Amino acid sequence: MPLPANFPCTAAVVGGGPAGLMAAEALSGHGVRVDLFDAMPSVGRKFLIAGKGGMNITHSEPAAAFRARYREREADIAPLLDTFGPNALREWIAGLGIATFVGSSGRVFPADMKAAPLLRAWLKRLRETGVRFHMRHRWCGWTLENGQRALRFSTPHGERSVFAGAVVLALGGGSRAKLGSDGRWVRQMEQAGIPIAPLRPANCGFDVGWSAHLRERFAGRPVKPVVASLADRAGKRIRQAGEFVVTATGVEGGLIYALSAPLRDAIEANGSALLHLDLLPGREWRYVVDEIAHPRGSRSLSGHLQSRLGLKGVKVALLRECVAPEAFSDPEKLAAAIKALPLRLVAPRPLDEAISSAGGVMFEALDKNLMLHKLPGTFCAGEMLDWEAPTGGYLLTACFAGGRAAGLGALGWLNREGGGNPNPPFPQDAS
């Protein structure tokens, strides 16, 4: 049923991802009438996709290490985690009737590893507390009507204006447009004078520029185990163990995603990023030299490397791709390449391919309750804020925590300013 042209509500939440849903719960749980709007036909689409390979909801590592994952925005995210961190999130999930467990890597998963049951239980509870869902409502910014600021939505039934006593914007980042996170909100926010850091790919793959041989023969092959290292902007050496996948254009996968922020920063600063790969972690350079120098008789060099060091397939192909030919006749130079293979990355993959995005509404534009200084009564949460984190549960945890904080901030605003009026006027200085 279409909404009336001028629709009043007590609190409007725009965006149906984890941050928006958590904001709606924080408000409706205190008796506030909440209307949630989303451009997609259903809520939680990116959340469901994130859970296809196993729903990694958070991480069990110590609090200090957990907070450090948010890099430059650690000080901004830490207060959100102090009130709703990993342990609180697990308790909240248990309240939905879903058990969680800690995997061998420290990551936390629902017992059945699936996102859909959690989302279904959550939506049931939200509907029971009175949250009303309005799908296919794309937010188009604001309009002023009779001195009041209203939200504008494009709907299948035409444009609608929505007046709300408090608003939480949880519009997502700029990755995975087909799931609803398309970054189209940036223009509206900039027009309202809200400072926005440019959206950039995070947890993404990178282009290398392979030869036709490597691209055709080895695209799709995993490279494991390896240890990758690079220098960050401060010159500190970062080392990370894991695995990645060779793609037709370059590299992607867990190890690359974990290092994507410093890699992207290096490319932006220098035009490329140099990643060094230890193809034989656990083996010392001297051992590798001695094994290469061992007489190989009639064996080819590839056969010799496989026999003496277990190097074969894509790892040998990467050596051929990245190392000068003369190094293969010098055991010390070849061993040095095996222990620190230089791989130059030239560009991150496009934003829409990334798992998440960096950039967004700057924290300096918000107060401690995540309310916009320029738009009192309007709060922001989730991936549309200027922060980033690696995969491993850190993204979702901050989205849940931020959504809850914004919802509670909106509740406080209503209690202070709304005075029970379901449609209080917006301040004129917000125009």
Q: Which residues pair with 201 in a beta bridge?
A: 357
**pLDDT over threshold 50, residue 419:** no
Cβ–Cβ < 8 Å for 352, 373:
no
Tens-digit pLDDT profile for residues 55-83: 999 999 999 999 999 999 999 999 999 99
Task: In whole angstroms, give the CA distance from residue 239 to residue 136.
Answer: 45
Give residue 269's pLDDT band: very low, low, confident or very high (50, 70, 90).
very high
Lowest-confidence range among 10-14, 75-79, 177-181, 399-403? Answer: 177-181
Rounded mean pLDDT, 234-250: 94
Residue-wise pLDDT tens digits, 92-127: 999 999 999 999 999 999 999 999 999 999 999 999
Cross-strand bridge partners of residue 145? 148
Residues 262-282 have a mean pLDDT of: 96
Residues 361, 196 contacting (CB under 8 angstroms): yes
| pLDDT confidence band for 360 (50 / 70 / 90) | very high
3-state DSSP assignment of residue 26: helix
- CA-to-CA distance for 99 and 90, rounded, in angstroms? 8
Q: CB–CB of 387/398 below 8 Å?
A: yes
Residues found in the chain: 431
Instruction: Provide the percentage of residues in the chain whose pLDDT is more than 90.
Output: 88
Q: Does the structure show a pLDDT above 90 at 413?
A: yes
Report cis status (omega within 30 of 0) of the bond before 18.
Answer: no
Triad 103, 105, 106: Cα angle to 5°? 70
**pTM of this structure:** 0.90
**Is the pLDDT confidence value at 425 over 60?**
no
Q: What is the mean pLDDT of residues 350-355?
A: 95
Residues in Cβ contact with 293 at an 8 Å cutoff, skipping those fewer than 6 apart: 331
53 or 210, greater pLDDT: 210
Which domains can be identified in the chain, with CATH numbers? 6-201+359-430 (3.50.50.60), 206-348 (no CATH)
β-pairing, 148-155 vs 158-169, is: antiparallel
Beta carbons within 8 Å of 351's beta carbon, 6+ residues apart? 174, 175, 183, 199, 200, 201, 204, 357
3-state secondary structure string across 98-118: CCEEECCCCEEEECCCCCHHH
Mean local confidence (pLDDT), 173-179: 91
Give the pLDDT of residue 19: 98
> With the C-alpha atoms ordered 408, 410, 416, 420, is the resulting torsion angle positive or negative?
negative
**Token pair recorded at residue 410:** 């909106």
Q: Which residue has the higher pLDDT, 265 or 427?
A: 265
Mean per-residue pLDDT of the chain: 93
pLDDT for the residue numbered 423: 41
Over 80: is that where the pLDDT of 398 sits? yes
- The whole-number pLDDT of residue 4 equals 59
User: pLDDT band for position 333 (50/70/90)?
Assistant: very high
Task: Please give the Cα distance from 254 to 377 (Å, whole number).
Answer: 39
Q: Are 202 and 48 in contact (CB under 8 A)?
A: no
Contact between 73 and 386 under an 8 Å Cβ cutoff? The reply is yes
pLDDT of residue 146: 80
The percent of residues in the chain predicted with pLDDT above 70, rounded, is: 95
